[in-house]
Amino acid sequence: MRTYLRSTPLGIVIVGLFAGGILLSQALGWWSTESRKIARKITTGEFAGKADPADIRGSYSFQDIEKNFGVPVKILAQAFAFEQEKDPGAVRAKDLETKFAGAAETHPQTQPQAQTQPQAQPQPAVQPLEIGTDALRLFVALYVGIPYSPKEGTGIPESAFRVLKENGKLSPEKEKAILPLVVKVGKDTAPSGTIPTGEKAEPSAPISPSVPSAGGQPEKSPTPQSSGGAAATGVTSGSAQPAGSSTGTGGSSTSTTEPLIKGKTTFKEVLAWGVTKAQIEKVLGCPMPAEGTVIKDWCASVGLEFGTIRDALQKLKP
């Protein structure tokens, strides 16, 4: 059988197929000209099947990150000083660049070392660090315990460092590795509160070898710098833990699914773990205040360092 297809029907077929196909796909919910923001999964190794922080793109909002990685919007807003934002869930990764433009011009290690070392000692070179999408990748990777090598020149704000620490996401070795990347930002961008003195004064640590991105995507490995350089935050795949499991090896090692002492944790919540009042008082070195008191607030009121008390209390967890 022979069938001719002349120009007019051919033109109708072409236009009709495109118009009809697009309309049909819209009706079926398949038509999307914007990313649905589903991060690709890691395919091999210990973290296979988990969303890969290396796939976070500039267009990802905090909400998308919560959806993909389980890092709450509130935590992200705290970490990157967007708490005052009306809708922090809508903040995009690429917004960090604008927010922290100019805020990340000094290498933070000049700050702590200046406080702890004699004047005569040579200061590390000042390196401009950038807080942008890669900073968010790094933060998320640390938060969920997946190894990630940040790009050279990536920094994270001290607020992010503090959030990681407060949430027990930094083992001592990770903390050492990340310290050279912590950037002191201006008051206008930093959230309320400051890094405890002890944390600020911690000296720069030797740099761990860079580990490749867990997802297999080639990432530019950071090169050691004279100032201490960039850090491979995964430290080693052995020490990095999957989301929801123990992160780090130090006394403050905790998990996202287990109870954590955070900025707003009360003594009552610690008691609820099964810890006795006597145990808490032993840590505090004085009688425990009212159960509903926020631990951090109490520490501030009596002049104790929250980080120290928190770590000690965290260890009581059965």
Partner 1 sequence: MKKKPFTARLRFGVQIAFLILVALTSLNHSLSSYGIQIPFFGSASLHAICPFGGVVSVYQFVTIGSLVQKVHEASLVLMGIAFFLVILVGPAFCGWVCPLGTVEELIGKIGRRIFKKKYNTFVPPAIDRYLRYLRYGVLVWVVYVTATSMKLVFAEYDPYYALFNFWTGEVPLTAMGILALTLIGSLFIERPFCKYACPYGALLGLFNKVRIFTIRRNPSTCINCKACDRACPMNIEVSTAGPVRDHQCITCMKCTSEAACPVQETVELMAGSFQVKPIENVSAGNIPAGKEAGK
- Residue closer to partner 1 (CB basis): 19 or 300: 19
Binding partner 1 (rule: CB under 8 A), the pick from 27, 36, 118, 226 is: 36
> Which of these ranges, 29-37, 144-152, 154-162, 255-263, lies near partner 1 under the rule CB under 8 A?
29-37
- Residue closer to partner 1 (CB basis): 35 or 223: 35
Could you tell me the smallest distance in angstroms from the CB atom of residue 223 to partner 1? Answer: 21
193 residue type, one letter: G
- The 10 Å CB-count burial string (b at 16+, else e) for 142-177 is bbbbbbbbbbbbbbbbbbbbbbbbbbbbbbebbbbb
5 near partner 1, judged by CB under 8 A? yes
249 residue type, one letter: T
Q: How far apart are CA 19 and CA 86, in angstroms?
A: 39
The dihedral through the CA atoms of 104, 218, 165, 143 has a sign that is: positive
117 near partner 1, judged by CB under 8 A? no
Could you tell me the smallest distance in angstroms from the CB atom of residue 181 to partner 1? Answer: 24
151 near partner 1, judged by CB under 8 A? no
Binding mask 48-87 for partner 1 (x = CB under 8 A): -------x-x------------------------------
Rounded to 5°, the CA angle 244-248-249 comes to: 130
Give DSSP secondary structure letters for 6-19.
-HHHHHHHHHHHHH
- Residues between 174 and 233 that touch partner 1 (CB under 8 A): 217-218
What residues have CB less than 8 Å from 71, skipping those under 6 apart? 65, 139, 140, 143, 144
- Residue closer to partner 1 (CB basis): 2 or 86: 2
Token pair for residue 19? 């118009």
Residue in 100, 107, 111, 76 with CA at minimum distance from that of residue 189: 100
21 near partner 1, judged by CB under 8 A? yes
6 near partner 1, judged by CB under 8 A? yes
What residues have CB less than 8 Å from 212, skipping those under 6 apart? 149, 218, 219, 221
- How many C-alpha atoms does 193 have within 13 Å on its Cβ side? 22
> Which of these ranges, 22-30, 121-129, 182-190, 242-250, lies near partner 1 under the rule CB under 8 A?
22-30
Binding partner 1 (rule: CB under 8 A), the pick from 27, 33, 285, 290 is: 33
Q: Which residue(s) pair with 157 in the sheet?
A: 183
23 near partner 1, judged by CB under 8 A? no
Could you tell me the smallest distance in angstroms from the CB atom of residue 192 to partner 1? Answer: 32
Binding partner 1 (rule: CB under 8 A), the pick from 30, 115, 117, 300 is: 30
- Residue closer to partner 1 (CB basis): 37 or 317: 37
> Which of these ranges, 11-19, 106-114, 172-180, 253-261, lies near partner 1 under the rule CB under 8 A?
11-19
| Contact between residue 113 and residue 124 where contact means Cβ atoms under 8 Å apart | yes
At 61, give phi and psi (nearest 5°): -90, 165
Could you tell me the smallest distance in angstroms from the CB atom of residue 216 to partner 1? Answer: 9
Binding site for partner 1 (CB under 8 A): 1-8, 10-11, 13-15, 17-18, 21-22, 25, 30-36, 38-41, 43, 55, 57, 217-218
